[in-house]
Structure 1
């Protein structure tokens, strides 16, 4: 795993070596083993290396035989040995034993369609001097990050993390107001936006090409989740094929010249990965778990069951219930506002894993692939009601009921009818957006100042989902929301969270459940095999009954929960008030400060649970301080240094 940076002058000017070195150095945590840069007229490439494969000979930037093609690469190409054999037969000569070299020769052989040949997680940038072309690509699911910006002076910058681009003083630091609207709806900023105008994330499954003199950028999509329904098979055939596909995916990702292990939370997905690993390797598998002192949040006993069954070398550490010292550290890790509080335990489990291994396999992607989230069940129940009444009748009827029904944050979901009524008053995409929003439309309208709301010119964050839904390969109710999550939540939240938390500890995380061939195959299964009678991951669980205990397979999902509500009423009470009611947020002009105070008062008195919105605001405030410092005066969309 590595970090990449680059500067491409579309006008052919001289590259600033000092800037390139500073950009590269900001990502030293991603690659502590080695670092190097390459500069030629109009081009500079930088690389930080975490040595995993061909430790002795895989240095980057890496060139083809005659030096006309050079690449910097972050990730792993799992099928590189197969590609080496194919490319060698076609006349290409290899000088290393690492997967990076496959990229330059695949480009020579197949051009931009080389990405179709790669099975893995990757973000890379390749310069072809003969064609005067810079080619960049990101893997199909967005496991590895890629940021870029084209400046007014003709410089094109790219990097693995946003902090590297911020090393350039000419980068536009004005806020993208639509990105702020999206952040307070989703808790993260979905691709392709970033918090800054003019700086973007390359979408998963997309590539970019640039040539000298080019003044516009047009990313092109090379892959999408197909959701093409397969021919009907018996459940037994599906189960057998699923285990074979899972075993193949895990086995392909075990290549490593450094110590390797797995995260083991005690949930279905990570346990499935560990079971397949234990089957494949002769040596005991290294597994890592974290425990919580509060039984309501602790899954360590289930992880221990799996560890015992497969005789793993199991490492467990307990995370303190008041582990909130990371609040400001998270802002530095993520570079832009990021409000998934499970980043705290994710950081801790990566910290634990790094003490024992350099590479780990995780179970991420199982919920999106196999419909494991509880919200899918609720959405499909609501969809049944939506089909019985047209929107013209539902909107006024359930809209009125939603207004009249009292808010009941304390109650179980089935008693929180207000949220259900509000969702039923919307169409399918709006309803799903309402269920995943941290702050719904009404709350955001109250949170933002009139001036900021006016600057949005009517834009609402639901448009992110609407755009994806309009281009979805499926209109099946369940498959559609899975598709929306794969395009937004998986890439923007889950994979971003794990990438930054792991790379902060120079730890590589691989995700076998996101092998694109497995994802394609699973997408074609009947939705009834994924969600059946309120049982999510139905076929995955059935397939694993011979491999995992029933208590692991059929218990309620817990996840990496953090006790925010009690933190904000107890040990973080004054810290939260000082942060949210201080000058940092007020000076932006973005917020209605009276409403923020109202939310805090109601939460800390116990009348309402506003823990998620408060955490979202706290992370935004921490981002501002981390990015602009204490000596800055902020206004909406503009940063002005205090004289």
Structure 2
């Protein structure tokens, strides 16, 4: 795993200062502490920081093709590189190294842009073609590996694995994009469609950018998308056997490494399934680790211990308490952009724990999105059935009126918290799901905004992006569209960003076997009854794993990596909650109504409402703006 950075002059091939690229790479040293390199030519500069995982000594970057006509910097792993290498050698290619980087170069020279479809892996790379005087930037199907872009005042395009790489460039302007701010407060992260600083962006998952000297910079183009519009046929037994075969292949392909390897183990279905299949494929005990909490109701370490004992893993567990909140500044520094998924804190801790023993760790990320494992997806399917029975002209006034009248009872048992469900039923399926996916509603955000921010937003509403995404999805049903939104929007913006930054902060490579594209494409074709049955998701996955895992692991209620932020902000961290409204950074930004923020904090501390997610968002925003050097 690595960090990459570079500069490209499109219209005029100006010289690139190697020292400038080197400084950008130095900001990414945590991603690659084992080596560094910079290459420049008229109008282009490529830089690299290396974390050695495969071919430890033989694949330095930037790497030239054997004929010297192409140069690449690459972040990621290509899991099928050995198969591709054999195919390319049969066609006459010659290799000097034993790693996957040189295979990408040879694949590009053999197949051009079509090489992307042949790559099985996680990647972001920059490849410069000297003959065509063109730069190819590409990102993997799901966005496991990041790539930030910025158009600078001198006309150049700068790119880097993290925003901090761009921040090292003196021409990058540090002004908050109002739309990115609204999106952050809507979702708790800045999605791939935005970047927190105006003038910066992210190369979207499954996209590439082809830029040529002497031509204006084009827009990124999609090279892959997930398709939910087809349905697989076959018995449950046949589909289960195919699923198990795909999972075994995915896990085994990600166990290839020339360094110590292990796994994250939460005790849930997904990580337990990965560990089970790793143990099946490994002659030695698998190294596993887990993180728990000082709030017993949220601590899953006992379930992880059950799985560890079942498979005889070399297991280590630790707990996180409210005292670990002191590390929140370090957490903000990892992400650069504000990031408010509170599970980033324990994820970072489990990455640190893993790095004490291994350099590569497999995770269970991706299964919930692919196999309908989230409660919100199951609820959405049920809501869609209600929508199909009642016309919109009847639903909107009936459920809308009930929803507006129903109290927002955060303190009540779940069955009595019907306000969100009623309001969702009043809207279209796309509107309802976007509302359920969001951390805050548009109305809640508007109540906090200053008149100046409201003016700058000019009617922009973050939810519209998810609504449009669902309406244009290649899908048959509401469940399809919800899963498509989770895979295309939530997964790269939240889940994969979280694991990439927290793992790379400690120079650990995380791999996600359940995001193998063949496995996800199979899951997208499953009939709905194989995804959701009797009100729970991941039906076929759980049935498939019954031969490996006990029922209390497979069928206990889903908990997730939940952090007890609500309890902490009412107790030991209540002072932090109150301090948000008075924060000089928040006040001087001019984005918010300070009195509204103060009321938000007091209502949470008093137990009248659960505002913990929003308070955590504001706290992480403050830390991010401070780090970025922005006060307004």
TM range (shorter): over 0.9
Q: In the alignment, what sits opposite 1:248?
A: 249
Unaligned runs of 5+ in 1: 636-643
Q: In the alignment, what sits opposite 1:5?
A: 5
Q: CA deviation at 1:268?
A: 0.3
* Residue range with higher mean Cα deviation, 442-451 or 569-578: 569-578
Q: In the alignment, what sits opposite 1:626?
A: 627
Question: Does the 8 Å contact 1:580/1:621 carry over to 2?
Answer: no
Q: In the alignment, what sits opposite 2:50?
A: 49
Q: CA deviation at 1:342?
A: 0.2
Q: CA deviation at 1:475?
A: 3.4
Q: CA deviation at 1:160?
A: 0.4
Q: CA deviation at 1:216?
A: 2.8
Q: In the alignment, what sits opposite 2:289?
A: 288
Is residue 26 of structure 1 aligned with residue 23 of structure 2? no
Within a 5 Å distance, the mapping from 1:166-245 to structure 2 comes to: 166-245=167-246
Question: Does the 8 Å contact 2:293/2:563 carry over to 1?
Answer: no
Matched residues in 2 for 1:570 and 1:292: separation? 15
Matched residues in 2 for 1:240 and 1:66: separation? 45
Within a 5 Å distance, the mapping from 1:441-520 to structure 2 comes to: 441-520=442-521
CA deviation profile, 1:408-464 (whole Å, cap 9, x unmatched) = 101232211111111112111110111111111221110111221122111111111
**Is the partner of 1:544 in helix, strand or coil?**
helix
Q: In the alignment, what sits opposite 2:352?
A: 351
Question: Does the 8 Å contact 1:15/1:43 carry over to 2?
Answer: yes
Q: CA deviation at 1:321?
A: 4.1
Is residue 413 of structure 1 aligned with residue 414 of structure 2? yes
Question: Does the 8 Å contact 2:137/2:210 carry over to 1?
Answer: yes
Matched residues in 2 for 1:224 and 1:491: separation? 13
Q: CA deviation at 1:228?
A: 4.0
Is residue 151 of structure 1 aligned with residue 152 of structure 2? yes
Question: Does the 8 Å contact 2:322/2:568 carry over to 1?
Answer: no
Question: Does the 8 Å contact 2:430/2:471 carry over to 1?
Answer: no
Q: CA deviation at 1:41?
A: 1.7
Matched residues in 2 for 1:618 and 1:476: separation? 38
Matched residues in 2 for 1:324 and 1:559: separation? 20
CA deviation profile, 1:53-108 (whole Å, cap 9, x unmatched) = 00010111111112110100000000001111111111111000000001111111
* Residue range with higher mean Cα deviation, 458-467 or 179-188: 458-467
CA deviation profile, 1:281-340 (whole Å, cap 9, x unmatched) = 111111111122322111111111111111111111222243212221121110111110
**Is the partner of 2:48 in helix, strand or coil?**
strand
Question: Does the 8 Å contact 1:246/1:518 carry over to 2?
Answer: yes
Name the TM-score, length of structure 1 as normaliser.
0.96
Question: Does the 8 Å contact 2:411/2:608 carry over to 1?
Answer: no
Matched residues in 2 for 1:438 and 1:292: separation? 23
**Is the partner of 2:37 in helix, strand or coil?**
strand
**Is the partner of 1:7 in helix, strand or coil?**
strand
Matched residues in 1 for 2:550 and 2:405: separation? 45
**Is the partner of 1:307 in helix, strand or coil?**
helix
Q: In the alignment, what sits opposite 1:573?
A: 574
Q: In the alignment, what sits opposite 1:324?
A: 325
* Residue range with higher mean Cα deviation, 322-331 or 528-537: 322-331
Q: CA deviation at 1:194?
A: 0.3
**Is the partner of 1:148 in helix, strand or coil?**
strand
Q: In the alignment, what sits opposite 1:59?
A: 60
Matched residues in 1 for 2:185 and 2:232: separation? 42
Cα distance change of structure 1 residues 485 and 118 upon mapping to structure 2, 3 Å threshold: same
Matched residues in 1 for 2:151 and 2:113: separation? 21
Question: Does the 8 Å contact 1:322/1:567 carry over to 2?
Answer: no
Matched residues in 1 for 2:513 and 2:492: separation? 15
Matched residues in 2 for 1:319 and 1:490: separation? 25
Is residue 306 of structure 1 aligned with residue 302 of structure 2? no
Q: CA deviation at 1:393?
A: 2.1
* Residue range with higher mean Cα deviation, 138-147 or 318-327: 318-327
Matched residues in 2 for 1:420 and 1:519: separation? 29
Q: In the alignment, what sits opposite 2:90?
A: 89
Q: CA deviation at 1:376?
A: 1.4
Question: Does the 8 Å contact 1:227/1:479 carry over to 2?
Answer: yes
**Is the partner of 1:230 in helix, strand or coil?**
coil
Question: Does the 8 Å contact 2:471/2:481 carry over to 1?
Answer: no
**Is the partner of 2:547 in helix, strand or coil?**
coil
Alignment length, in residue pairs?
Answer: 631
Question: Does the 8 Å contact 1:358/1:508 carry over to 2?
Answer: yes
**Is the partner of 1:401 in helix, strand or coil?**
helix
